[in-house]
Structure 1
Amino acid sequence: MDWSLQRNFGIAAGAILGALFGLMIAQSIVLAAEGFHPRGITPQLIVLPTLLIVIFVNLGIGLRMIDRLVTLIAQRSQLLATGAAPGETAPARIGQVFGREQRLAATMRFPASPESARLALVKVLPNSGPPRTAYVLLPTRYGIQRNAPASVVLDPTNPDVAVLDDRVDAAVLAAIAADPRWATVRVPGRFLRQGGLAVIIAFVAGLIVSLPLWILFLR
């Protein structure tokens, strides 16, 4: 899954918000040091609308990325379920279930099935690699909730994609739930893989670079 659109927007937004927060801090410093009282538009009147714009645009981008992800999972589920693409079966636990209803499910028994589903983030313990997260489409009729055990088939060419393996029985799911590794193994989240660290760095850089410039400007 290509997260570059979300990542690049996050970096740009982080840098802009960092610079605007630098303006707010610079104003406070100048006020405290020199008793300067700005006239006209204050930084807060710039920061708040910008923050709202960033939130709404990020929401739109996020919804677009989810739509692309759902389509990709459905496409890959057909290949994995038919054996056209090799996949690795792995134990998993449901992490986050997203509230937005999807009209397409994807399981090994019912690949790309047109029915009500939820996109979910699962924690996976692969046999051939380190612990990680992936996304699955859960049919609503299964009633799978957060923290429930699950068996998934991992897509070897798309690390973000997994398909629910609904061929397993209750005994297998009970064994997955009882796996002691869930209490000891740390599963990295999606934050770093989807560019979260880069956004924080951009925000801090924008703040540090802009702060002395704003102070000079306000003086």
Structure 2
Amino acid sequence: MLNDIRWPTRALVAGFGLALGLIIGGPAFGTSGDTSDSTTAFALLFVGIAVELVVISAFPVWAGRAQRRFSAEVAAATDELAAGDVSPVPEIGRLVRARTERRHGWWLPVRGSGPAPSEIAVFVALGDEPPRRVAALVPPDLGFSQVRDVPAVLLVHPEHREAAVLDDRVTPDRLAEVEADPRWRTERLPSDRRVVGGYLPLGGALLLGIGTGLLIAALVLTLW
């Protein structure tokens, strides 16, 4: 969910491209003057618009369900860490972003647990493994949704490697050490561009969708 969303993103972009190809291809290939061709061309135009609307409508639904499912997984992992059912893996982190989470509460080693709403904060985590993004449920009074790049120490779930707990036992000196860690400058850190697989493949997915839409339009107008 946090570190590899290449295929859902490419599928979305390809869907937009497919709709765009139908919208362009219908009128472009159906201008022979024949009435049946014109009717089919307009039908392709409206099909393209319908596909575009379906893609636009489906994406928020899919994204919302994925976020709710992931938040539930982070909450379950937090409960296991809080209960001591698993041994956490300490790692250092840096805040990427945070958003309000209204369905789940939070837990910190010192402050204990708190009710919903919380914030689900996304961090870049550095440890023995390659850098990756993890999420933690944190108290809303920390104001993480208003800041970026805040250093942190995280207690990562040993099995659910994208779930963690914020360690509030750390001292300011330790946070200063986290901030000064040279790996923030030398490691290949996950970014929004990298988790979607890069912008060039997205452009390729868009062109593939457009080409497919144009091909479908041409075949329909030729064979209809």
Residue in structure 2 matched with residue 158 of structure 1 by the alignment? 160
Which stretch shows the higher mean deviation, 202-211 or 143-152?
202-211
**C-alpha root-mean-square deviation of aligned residues, in Å?**
3.8
- More helix per residue: 2
Q: Structure 1 residues 182 and 139, CA, compared in 2 at 3 Å: closer, same or farther?
A: same
- The whole-number CA distance in structure 2 between the counterparts of 1:8 and 1:130 is 21
- The whole-number CA distance in structure 1 between the counterparts of 2:101 and 2:44 is 36
Query: CA contact under 8 A between 2:131 and 2:190: conserved in structure 1?
Result: yes
- The whole-number CA distance in structure 1 between the counterparts of 2:112 and 2:76 is 8
- The whole-number CA distance in structure 2 between the counterparts of 1:35 and 1:107 is 71
3-state SS of paired residue (2:107): coil
Q: How does 1:117-156 map to 2 (within 5 A)?
A: 117-126=118-127, 128-144=128-144, 145-156=147-158
Residue in structure 2 matched with residue 55 of structure 1 by the alignment? 56
Residue in structure 2 matched with residue 218 of structure 1 by the alignment? 221
Residue in structure 2 matched with residue 207 of structure 1 by the alignment? 210
Q: Structure 1 residues 186 and 69, CA, compared in 2 at 3 Å: closer, same or farther?
A: same
Alignment of 1:171 with 2:173, yes or no, is: yes
**TM-score normalised by length of structure 1:** 0.75
**TM-score normalised by length of structure 2:** 0.74
Residue in structure 2 matched with residue 96 of structure 1 by the alignment? 97
**Structure 1: gaps (5+ residues):** none
The residue type equivalent to 2:94 in the other structure is R
Deviation at 1:150, TM superposition (A): 1.2
Q: Give the total of aligned pairs.
A: 215
Which stretch shows the higher mean deviation, 12-21 or 54-63?
12-21
**Structure 2: gaps (5+ residues):** none
Deviation at 1:94, TM superposition (A): 0.6
